[in-house]
Amino acid sequence: MDLRLPDELIALAAADALDGRGARRRDEDTTRPSVSIAATGEPSRPSVFPRHDDLLDRVAEWGRADTPAGVFHLVPTRLERDLPLISRWMNDPAAAAFWELSGPQDVTEDHLRTQLAGDGRSVPCIGVLDGAPMSYWEIYRADLDPLARHYPARPHDTGIHLLVGGVADRGRGLGGLLLRAVADLVLARRPSCARVIAEPDIRNTPSVAAFLAAGFRFSAEVDLPAKRAALMVRDRVLRHLL
């Protein structure tokens, strides 16, 4: 008899090598793409394209959301198109304090590349509002992430990370509006998902406030390897009440 473990159990077994954002730890290189050596002897890094699989029900096909601020949609990240912009956002002091991806562009590149070359449990995206790229997102399977060791995870729990990129877009309530829109997209496009999860740093008061404004409830404080986090939950059954 040919026995085979379900794909999601195989994926979960690989979670030990992931960091708290759903990406590989910087000191873990077991899944880095292979590097070819050109005739000059210099390594060349292969291009990485977004994966199209079912671990997150095809984020690229989730469609657009109408919000009070305009039409919003998620576009899966492409390194050659988006890396300079995301790296610039990560070097803003307000972002660097919590994302810890400041520095040379290859710091951000490594973070993106490990997700794009992975099994599809974490999808980095650019948030586009009325045609303008203005935010960075990671949509990830919280139940397949190391985060699942720190709270009572349920199958298909879906996590969200958000960075509002431009300084001019902060402090206007956009975070709450867009978090609500994306959580609604998750629940609409992932019928197997009963909850949307987030774990902002407990010190990041504006982020926690944005999740509360988006209809998330504060569930608990959790100690993660890199931070003490506020576990925020948006329940499908309460989505029309909060």
The pLDDT of residue 53 = 56
The pLDDT of residue 179 = 98
pLDDT tens per residue, range 160-181 = 999 999 888 998 999 999 999 9
Binning pLDDT at 50, 70 and 90, where does residue 143 land?
A: very high
pLDDT tens per residue, range 194-241 = 999 999 999 999 999 999 999 999 999 999 999 999 999 999 998 888
Please identify which residue in the block is written with the tokens 């569930």.
Answer: 219
The pLDDT of residue 238 = 85
7 with 144: CB under 8 angstroms?
Answer: no
How many Å apart are CA 179 and CA 215, to the nearest integer?
9
pTM above 0.75, yes or no: yes
Backbone torsions φ then ψ of 6, nearest 5 degrees: -60, 150
The pLDDT of residue 139 = 98
Q: What tokens were used for 172?
A: 């206007």
Return left, alpha or beta for 164; rule: phi > 0 is left, psi -120 to 50 is alpha, else beta: beta
